[in-house]
Protein backbone atom coordinates (compact mmCIF):
# COMPACT_ATOMS: atom_id res chain seq x y z
CA UNK A 1 0.00 0.00 0.00
CA UNK A 2 1.30 3.47 -0.90
CA UNK A 3 2.23 5.67 2.02
CA UNK A 4 -0.02 8.71 2.38
CA UNK A 5 1.79 11.98 3.01
CA UNK A 6 1.17 13.31 6.53
CA UNK A 7 -0.36 16.78 6.11
CA UNK A 8 1.79 19.41 7.78
CA UNK A 9 -0.15 20.84 10.69
CA UNK A 10 -0.59 24.60 10.54
CA UNK A 11 -0.44 24.84 6.75
CA UNK A 12 -2.83 22.11 5.71
CA UNK A 13 -4.43 24.37 3.08
CA UNK A 14 -1.33 25.98 1.67
CA UNK A 15 -1.69 26.60 -2.09
CA UNK A 16 -5.45 25.98 -1.98
CA UNK A 17 -8.25 28.36 -2.90
CA UNK A 18 -11.44 28.37 -0.85
CA UNK A 19 -14.78 30.06 -1.51
CA UNK A 20 -17.04 30.61 1.50
CA UNK A 21 -20.60 31.94 1.31
CA UNK A 22 -22.22 33.96 4.08
CA UNK A 23 -18.75 35.03 5.19
CA UNK A 24 -19.43 38.66 6.14
CA UNK A 25 -20.16 37.74 9.75
CA UNK A 26 -20.97 34.87 12.13
CA UNK A 27 -19.69 31.40 11.35
CA UNK A 28 -18.69 32.23 7.76
CA UNK A 29 -16.33 35.02 8.87
CA UNK A 30 -14.75 32.64 11.36
CA UNK A 31 -14.36 29.94 8.68
CA UNK A 32 -12.65 32.51 6.43
CA UNK A 33 -10.21 33.35 9.21
CA UNK A 34 -9.50 29.69 10.01
CA UNK A 35 -9.02 28.47 6.43
CA UNK A 36 -6.82 31.46 5.59
CA UNK A 37 -4.76 30.91 8.73
CA UNK A 38 -4.16 27.35 7.52
CA UNK A 39 -2.71 28.74 4.28
CA UNK A 40 -5.69 29.06 1.93
CA UNK A 41 -6.47 31.99 -0.32
CA UNK A 42 -10.06 32.74 0.66
CA UNK A 43 -12.85 34.34 -1.34
CA UNK A 44 -15.28 35.49 1.33
CA UNK A 45 -18.71 36.03 -0.20
CA UNK A 46 -21.96 37.54 1.05
CA UNK A 47 -24.77 39.97 0.26
CA UNK A 48 -23.84 42.24 3.20
CA UNK A 49 -21.22 44.18 1.27
CA UNK A 50 -20.20 46.71 3.93
CA UNK A 51 -19.85 44.05 6.62
CA UNK A 52 -18.10 41.70 4.20
CA UNK A 53 -15.56 44.31 3.14
CA UNK A 54 -14.89 45.21 6.78
CA UNK A 55 -14.37 41.54 7.67
CA UNK A 56 -11.98 41.02 4.76
CA UNK A 57 -10.07 44.21 5.67
CA UNK A 58 -9.73 43.04 9.30
CA UNK A 59 -8.39 39.66 8.20
CA UNK A 60 -6.03 41.23 5.64
CA UNK A 61 -4.63 43.44 8.39
CA UNK A 62 -3.90 40.26 10.32
CA UNK A 63 -1.84 39.08 7.32
CA UNK A 64 -4.43 36.68 5.91
CA UNK A 65 -5.19 36.24 2.21
CA UNK A 66 -8.90 37.06 2.17
CA UNK A 67 -10.84 38.91 -0.52
CA UNK A 68 -14.49 39.96 -0.30
CA UNK A 69 -16.89 39.29 -3.19
CA UNK A 70 -20.58 40.07 -3.55
CA UNK A 71 -22.44 36.78 -4.06
CA UNK A 72 -26.15 36.15 -3.60
CA UNK A 73 -26.29 32.36 -3.47
CA UNK A 74 -29.65 32.32 -5.25
CA UNK A 75 -28.15 33.99 -8.35
CA UNK A 76 -26.50 31.76 -10.99
CA UNK A 77 -24.87 34.91 -12.48
CA UNK A 78 -23.28 35.80 -9.14
CA UNK A 79 -21.98 32.24 -8.84
CA UNK A 80 -20.46 32.39 -12.32
CA UNK A 81 -18.72 35.69 -11.46
CA UNK A 82 -17.35 34.34 -8.16
CA UNK A 83 -15.96 31.18 -9.72
CA UNK A 84 -14.47 33.30 -12.52
CA UNK A 85 -12.71 35.35 -9.87
CA UNK A 86 -11.18 32.16 -8.43
CA UNK A 87 -10.09 31.18 -11.94
CA UNK A 88 -8.38 34.52 -12.65
CA UNK A 89 -6.91 34.89 -9.14
CA UNK A 90 -5.33 31.46 -8.71
CA UNK A 91 -6.57 29.22 -11.53
CA UNK A 92 -8.11 26.80 -9.06
CA UNK A 93 -10.86 26.15 -6.55
CA UNK A 94 -10.21 23.49 -3.93
CA UNK A 95 -12.76 24.17 -1.22
CA UNK A 96 -16.37 25.35 -1.35
CA UNK A 97 -18.11 26.09 1.95
CA UNK A 98 -21.85 26.54 1.40
CA UNK A 99 -22.45 28.38 4.67
CA UNK A 100 -24.97 31.13 3.84
CA UNK A 101 -28.33 30.53 5.45
CA UNK A 102 -31.50 32.19 6.70
CA UNK A 103 -34.12 31.27 9.27
CA UNK A 104 -37.60 32.40 10.26
CA UNK A 105 -40.15 31.24 12.79
CA UNK A 106 -43.70 30.33 11.85
CA UNK A 107 -46.09 27.66 13.14
CA UNK A 108 -46.60 24.94 10.51
CA UNK A 109 -50.21 25.87 9.76
CA UNK A 110 -49.36 29.56 9.33
CA UNK A 111 -46.31 29.03 7.12
CA UNK A 112 -46.51 31.23 4.03
CA UNK A 113 -45.45 29.82 0.67
CA UNK A 114 -43.37 32.93 0.03
CA UNK A 115 -41.28 32.45 3.22
CA UNK A 116 -40.99 28.72 2.57
CA UNK A 117 -39.73 29.31 -0.98
CA UNK A 118 -37.23 31.98 0.09
CA UNK A 119 -35.81 29.73 2.80
CA UNK A 120 -35.37 26.80 0.45
CA UNK A 121 -33.92 29.10 -2.25
CA UNK A 122 -31.12 30.28 0.04
CA UNK A 123 -30.50 27.20 2.22
CA UNK A 124 -30.92 24.43 -0.35
CA UNK A 125 -30.96 25.75 -3.91
CA UNK A 126 -28.02 28.07 -3.11
CA UNK A 127 -25.67 25.15 -2.32
CA UNK A 128 -26.90 23.28 -5.43
CA UNK A 129 -26.09 26.29 -7.64
CA UNK A 130 -22.74 26.62 -5.90
CA UNK A 131 -21.79 23.03 -6.56
CA UNK A 132 -22.89 23.31 -10.19
CA UNK A 133 -20.78 26.45 -10.66
CA UNK A 134 -17.71 25.21 -8.76
CA UNK A 135 -17.31 21.64 -9.98
CA UNK A 136 -15.77 22.31 -13.43
CA UNK A 137 -12.91 24.37 -11.89
CA UNK A 138 -12.49 21.93 -8.98
CA UNK A 139 -12.40 19.04 -11.42
CA UNK A 140 -9.75 20.71 -13.56
CA UNK A 141 -7.56 21.02 -10.45
CA UNK A 142 -7.86 17.31 -9.73
CA UNK A 143 -10.54 17.38 -7.02
CA UNK A 144 -11.73 19.29 -4.00
CA UNK A 145 -13.89 19.41 -0.91
CA UNK A 146 -17.42 20.77 -0.63
CA UNK A 147 -18.78 21.46 2.84
CA UNK A 148 -22.49 22.14 3.18
CA UNK A 149 -23.50 23.79 6.43
CA UNK A 150 -26.75 22.08 7.43
CA UNK A 151 -27.98 21.91 11.05
CA UNK A 152 -29.14 19.59 13.81
CA UNK A 153 -32.52 20.77 12.50
CA UNK A 154 -31.79 18.95 9.26
CA UNK A 155 -31.76 15.73 11.31
CA UNK A 156 -34.59 16.29 13.81
CA UNK A 157 -37.62 18.57 13.78
CA UNK A 158 -38.10 21.84 15.64
CA UNK A 159 -41.58 23.31 16.25
CA UNK A 160 -41.95 26.65 14.48
CA UNK A 161 -39.10 26.04 12.06
CA UNK A 162 -40.76 23.94 9.36
CA UNK A 163 -39.11 25.63 6.36
CA UNK A 164 -35.70 25.76 8.01
CA UNK A 165 -35.83 22.07 9.00
CA UNK A 166 -37.01 21.05 5.54
CA UNK A 167 -34.30 23.14 3.88
CA UNK A 168 -31.52 21.67 6.00
CA UNK A 169 -32.84 18.09 5.78
CA UNK A 170 -32.89 18.44 2.00
CA UNK A 171 -29.33 19.79 2.13
CA UNK A 172 -28.16 16.67 3.97
CA UNK A 173 -29.79 14.49 1.29
CA UNK A 174 -28.34 16.68 -1.49
CA UNK A 175 -24.92 16.25 0.13
CA UNK A 176 -25.09 12.45 -0.06
CA UNK A 177 -26.22 12.44 -3.68
CA UNK A 178 -23.54 14.94 -4.68
CA UNK A 179 -20.91 12.83 -2.90
CA UNK A 180 -21.95 9.79 -4.92
CA UNK A 181 -21.91 11.64 -8.24
CA UNK A 182 -18.67 13.56 -7.68
CA UNK A 183 -16.47 10.91 -6.08
CA UNK A 184 -15.23 9.97 -9.54
CA UNK A 185 -13.79 13.50 -9.87
CA UNK A 186 -11.96 13.33 -6.55
CA UNK A 187 -14.45 15.79 -5.08
CA UNK A 188 -15.59 14.99 -1.55
CA UNK A 189 -18.93 16.40 -0.36
CA UNK A 190 -19.86 16.50 3.31
CA UNK A 191 -22.32 18.30 5.55
CA UNK A 192 -21.77 19.83 8.95
CA UNK A 193 -24.69 19.89 11.37
CA UNK A 194 -24.00 22.48 14.05
CA UNK A 195 -26.11 22.71 17.18
CA UNK A 196 -26.64 26.14 18.72
CA UNK A 197 -23.87 28.58 17.79
CA UNK A 198 -23.61 32.14 19.09
CA UNK A 199 -24.10 34.32 16.00
CA UNK A 200 -26.45 37.10 14.86
CA UNK A 201 -28.78 34.37 13.53
CA UNK A 202 -30.02 33.30 16.95
CA UNK A 203 -30.11 36.69 18.64
CA UNK A 204 -33.92 36.50 18.43
CA UNK A 205 -34.10 33.33 20.52
CA UNK A 206 -35.74 33.56 23.89
CA UNK A 207 -34.83 31.42 26.90
CA UNK A 208 -31.51 30.30 25.50
CA UNK A 209 -32.85 28.44 22.45
CA UNK A 210 -31.38 24.93 22.40
CA UNK A 211 -29.10 25.44 25.42
CA UNK A 212 -31.41 23.60 27.88
CA UNK A 213 -31.31 20.50 25.60
CA UNK A 214 -27.55 20.72 25.00
CA UNK A 215 -25.58 18.45 27.37
CA UNK A 216 -22.54 20.76 27.26
CA UNK A 217 -24.88 23.49 28.52
CA UNK A 218 -24.00 26.30 26.13
CA UNK A 219 -23.92 27.38 22.51
CA UNK A 220 -20.79 26.76 20.47
CA UNK A 221 -18.29 29.52 19.81
CA UNK A 222 -17.98 30.03 16.04
CA UNK A 223 -14.39 28.77 16.18
CA UNK A 224 -15.61 25.38 17.39
CA UNK A 225 -17.46 24.97 14.09
CA UNK A 226 -14.54 26.33 12.06
CA UNK A 227 -12.29 23.55 13.39
CA UNK A 228 -14.63 20.96 11.88
CA UNK A 229 -14.83 22.90 8.60
CA UNK A 230 -11.02 23.08 8.38
CA UNK A 231 -10.79 19.33 9.01
CA UNK A 232 -13.26 18.55 6.22
CA UNK A 233 -11.50 21.03 3.91
CA UNK A 234 -8.10 19.43 4.47
CA UNK A 235 -6.53 16.14 3.46
CA UNK A 236 -6.92 14.97 7.07
CA UNK A 237 -10.42 13.97 5.99
CA UNK A 238 -9.36 12.43 2.67
CA UNK A 239 -11.46 9.26 3.15
CA UNK A 240 -14.58 11.07 4.36
CA UNK A 241 -17.34 11.82 1.88
CA UNK A 242 -21.13 11.75 1.87
CA UNK A 243 -21.48 12.10 5.60
CA UNK A 244 -22.88 14.61 8.06
CA UNK A 245 -20.62 15.68 10.88
CA UNK A 246 -22.58 16.54 14.00
CA UNK A 247 -21.03 19.38 16.03
CA UNK A 248 -23.72 19.99 18.62
CA UNK A 249 -22.46 19.74 22.21
CA UNK A 250 -24.36 16.46 22.52
CA UNK A 251 -27.82 17.74 21.48
CA UNK A 252 -28.56 14.73 19.23
CA UNK A 253 -27.25 12.17 21.72
CA UNK A 254 -30.65 12.06 23.47
P1 LIG B 1 -25.54 34.59 10.36
O2 LIG B 1 -26.93 35.08 10.16
O3 LIG B 1 -24.63 35.37 11.23
O4 LIG B 1 -24.79 34.36 8.97
C5 LIG B 1 -25.44 33.99 7.79
C6 LIG B 1 -24.80 34.75 6.65
O7 LIG B 1 -25.42 34.33 5.44
C8 LIG B 1 -25.02 36.28 6.78
O9 LIG B 1 -23.81 36.96 6.63
C10 LIG B 1 -25.98 36.59 5.64
O11 LIG B 1 -25.84 37.87 5.08
C12 LIG B 1 -25.61 35.49 4.64
N13 LIG B 1 -26.66 35.30 3.64
C14 LIG B 1 -28.00 35.24 3.84
N15 LIG B 1 -28.62 35.12 2.66
C16 LIG B 1 -27.65 35.10 1.69
C17 LIG B 1 -27.68 35.00 0.29
N18 LIG B 1 -28.83 34.90 -0.39
N19 LIG B 1 -26.50 34.99 -0.37
C20 LIG B 1 -25.33 35.09 0.31
N21 LIG B 1 -25.25 35.21 1.63
C22 LIG B 1 -26.41 35.21 2.32
O23 LIG B 1 -25.73 33.12 10.96
P24 LIG B 1 -24.69 31.91 11.18
O25 LIG B 1 -25.05 31.26 12.44
O26 LIG B 1 -23.30 32.37 11.00
O27 LIG B 1 -25.12 30.94 9.99
C28 LIG B 1 -24.20 30.23 9.18
C29 LIG B 1 -24.83 28.91 8.77
O30 LIG B 1 -24.94 28.05 9.91
C31 LIG B 1 -26.25 29.02 8.21
O32 LIG B 1 -26.38 28.14 7.10
C33 LIG B 1 -27.12 28.53 9.35
O34 LIG B 1 -28.34 28.03 8.91
C35 LIG B 1 -26.23 27.49 9.96
N36 LIG B 1 -26.52 27.14 11.35
C37 LIG B 1 -26.57 28.11 12.33
C38 LIG B 1 -26.77 27.73 13.64
C39 LIG B 1 -26.78 28.73 14.77
O40 LIG B 1 -27.15 28.38 15.89
N41 LIG B 1 -26.36 29.98 14.56
C42 LIG B 1 -27.00 26.33 14.00
C43 LIG B 1 -26.94 25.40 12.90
C44 LIG B 1 -26.70 25.81 11.63
| Res. 197: pLDDT tops 80 | yes
Cα(99) to ligand 1 centroid in Å equals 6
Total-model pTM: 0.97
CA dihedral sign, ordered 170, 174, 177, 183: negative
Mean pLDDT of the chain: 96
Domains of the chain: 17-194+221-245 (3.40.50.720)
* Residue 8 pLDDT class (50, 70, 90 cuts): low
> Catalytic annotation on 161?
no
Q: For 28-42, 99-113, 191-205, 228-242, which range has the lowest pLDDT when averaged over its residues?
A: 191-205
| Res. 2: pLDDT tops 90 | no
Buried/exposed code over 14-23 (b: 16+ C-beta within 10 A; e: otherwise): eebbbbbbbb
* Residue 202 pLDDT class (50, 70, 90 cuts): confident
Question: What average pLDDT does range 174-197 have in this prediction?
Answer: 98
Which atom of ligand 1 approaches the CA of 219 most closely? Answer: 40
Cα(3) to ligand 1 centroid in Å equals 39
Answer for the pair 10, 38: CB distance below 8 angstroms, yes or no: yes
Q: Does 16 sit in the ligand 1 pocket, CB within 6 Å? A: no
* Residue 5 pLDDT class (50, 70, 90 cuts): low
pLDDT in tens, 116-148: 999 999 999 999 999 999 999 999 999 999 999
Q: Tell me, what's the pLDDT at 9?
A: 55
| Res. 6: pLDDT tops 80 | no
Q: Tell me, what's the pLDDT at 204?
A: 74
| Integer Cα distance of 210 and 197 in angstroms | 10
Question: What average pLDDT does range 243-252 have in this prediction?
Answer: 98
DSSP annotation of 106 reads B
Q: Tell me, what's the pLDDT at 172?
A: 98
Q: Does 165 sit in the ligand 1 pocket, CB within 6 Å? A: no
pLDDT in tens, 148-165: 999 999 999 999 999 999
pLDDT > 70: percent of the chain: 96
| Res. 73: pLDDT tops 90 | yes
| Integer Cα distance of 61 and 135 in angstroms | 31
Q: Does 196 sit in the ligand 1 pocket, CB within 6 Å? A: yes
Amino acid sequence: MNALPIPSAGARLSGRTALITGAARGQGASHAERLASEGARVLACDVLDDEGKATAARLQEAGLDVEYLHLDVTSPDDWARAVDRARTATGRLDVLVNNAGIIHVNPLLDERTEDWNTTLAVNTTGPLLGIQAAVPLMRSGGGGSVINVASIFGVVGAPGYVAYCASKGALVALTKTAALELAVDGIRVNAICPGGVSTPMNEHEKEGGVIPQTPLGRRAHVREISGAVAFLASDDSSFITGTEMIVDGGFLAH
